[in-house]
């Protein structure tokens, strides 16, 4: 049924720390590796070794530049996957009931044997979290590694999503947001965890931690460490070069 549950027992999701992410794309690769060989249809690539390769991924890392006038620009690496929204618009538009949100843990999933590949759920998602698999004609999306987190056949340390398990920077955290004492809830509260595009009213579960402010090295016009030496630099050149400079200016 594509009606959304009123409430879910758990709210499993991710905290993504934009201050810590180094943009290495390891989460993208490990996500692809795990999810191409486990739950559901493989994540296909088309023309993988050709001129125009295109493939299905459940996780993508953008890189942004953030700039305030008169300040040094800041680079922010920005991993983006399904946010497992509480008011998931992708679920209610589904005509077949293939898309659903689980009552027990809030994970949004696609039952691929019911998916007709109409693509309307991808149209309804503001975050670009859903991609149609070109080989299978079914919609693929993040499962929060539902086949890892409850999997008794793998070591306990691995029972977290593949992207979280592999992140070398510790920028990704997995937990239950319904529990105010969980480490993800506390982390999000302490660091001002934010929703993406809140004006879409999708009520995402995942939270993004904003980058910490950078030390401002240009605020007073001086670079503190080298400033004493730089002060002595002549502002005008004398001698032949000075004459040449002035002559060329006039010319």
Partner 1 sequence: MHPAPSVIIFTALSGLGFGLLFFLGFGFPEPRGWTAFGYFFVAYALGVGGLLASTLHLGNPQRAAKAFRQWRTSWLSREGVAAVATLLVMAVYAIGLIFFDHALPLFGWLGGLLALLTVFTTSKIYNQLKTVPRWNLPLTPVLFFAYALAGGALLAGQAMLAAVLLLLLSALQWAGWQLGDKAFANAGHSIETATGLGELGKVRQLEGPHSGTNYLLQELVHVVGRKHAQKLRLIAIVTLGLIPAALLLFLPVGQFVLLIALASHLIGLFISRWLFFAEAEHVVGLYYDLR
The binding site for partner 1 (CB under 8 A) comprises 1-3, 18, 28, 52-57, 60-68, 71, 73-76, 78, 80, 89, 92-98, 114-120, 122-128, 131-134, 136-139, 194-201, 208, 210-211, 213
- Min dist. Cβ of residue 50 to partner 1 (A): 10
In the complex with partner 1, the residue whose CB is nearer, 25 or 159, is 25
- Min dist. Cβ of residue 17 to partner 1 (A): 13
Find all residues with CB under 8 Å of 182, minimum gap 6, and list them.
175, 176
Distance, CA of 128 to CA of 101 (rounded, Å)? 18
Q: Which long-range contacts (CB under 8 A, 24 or more apart) does 37-42 make?
A: 38/147, 39/143, 39/146, 39/147, 40/110, 40/112, 40/138, 40/140, 40/143, 41/112, 41/133, 41/135, 41/136, 41/138, 41/140, 42/135, 42/136
- Min dist. Cβ of residue 102 to partner 1 (A): 16
Distance, CA of 46 to CA of 52 (rounded, Å)? 8
- Min dist. Cβ of residue 150 to partner 1 (A): 27
- Min dist. Cβ of residue 214 to partner 1 (A): 9
In the complex with partner 1, the residue whose CB is nearer, 112 or 147, is 112
- Min dist. Cβ of residue 118 to partner 1 (A): 6
In the complex with partner 1, the residue whose CB is nearer, 103 or 197, is 197
Taking alpha carbons only, the member of 52, 39, 62, 61 closest to residue 140 is 39
Taking alpha carbons only, the member of 126, 122, 206, 198 closest to residue 164 is 206
In the complex with partner 1, the residue whose CB is nearer, 151 or 200, is 200
58 class by beta-carbon count within 10 Å (0-12 exposed, 13-18 middle, 19+ buried): buried
In the complex with partner 1, the residue whose CB is nearer, 18 or 144, is 18
In the complex with partner 1, the residue whose CB is nearer, 10 or 59, is 59
Find all residues with CB under 8 Å of 204, minimum gap 6, and list them.
13, 83, 84, 85, 86, 127, 195, 196
């Amino acid at each position: 049924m594509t009606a959304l549950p009123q409430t879910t027992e758990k709210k499993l999701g991710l905290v993504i720390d934009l201050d810590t992410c180094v943009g290495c794309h390891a989460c993208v690769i490990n996500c692809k590796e795990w999810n191409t060989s486990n739950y559901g249809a493989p994540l296909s690539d088309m023309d993988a070794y050709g001129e125009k390769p295109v493939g299905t991924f459940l996780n993508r890392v953008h890189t942004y530049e953030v700039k305030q006038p008169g300040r040094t620009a800041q680079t922010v690496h920005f991993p983006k996957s399904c946010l497992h929204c509480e008011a998931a618009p992708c679920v209610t538009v589904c005509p077949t009931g293939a898309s659903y949100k689980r009552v027990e843990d809030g994970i949004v999933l696609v039952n691929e044997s019911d998916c007709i590949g109409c693509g309307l759920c991808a149209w309804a998602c503001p975050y670009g979290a859903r991609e149609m698999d070109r080989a299978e004609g079914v919609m693929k999306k993040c499962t929060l590694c539902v086949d890892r987190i409850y999997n008794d056949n793998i070591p306990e340390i691995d029972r977290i999503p593949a992207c979280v398990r592999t992140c070398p920077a510790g920028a990704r955290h997995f937990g239950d947001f319904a529990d105010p004492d969980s480490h993800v809830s506390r982390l999000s509260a302490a660091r001002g965890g934010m929703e993406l595009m809140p004006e879409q009213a999708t009520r995402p579960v995942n939270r993004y931690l904003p980058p910490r402010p950078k030390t401002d090295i240009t605020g007073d016009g001086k670079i503190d460490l080298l400033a004493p030496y730089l002060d002595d630099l002549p502002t005008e050149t004398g001698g032949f070069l000075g004459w040449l400079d002035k002559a060329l200016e006039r010319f």
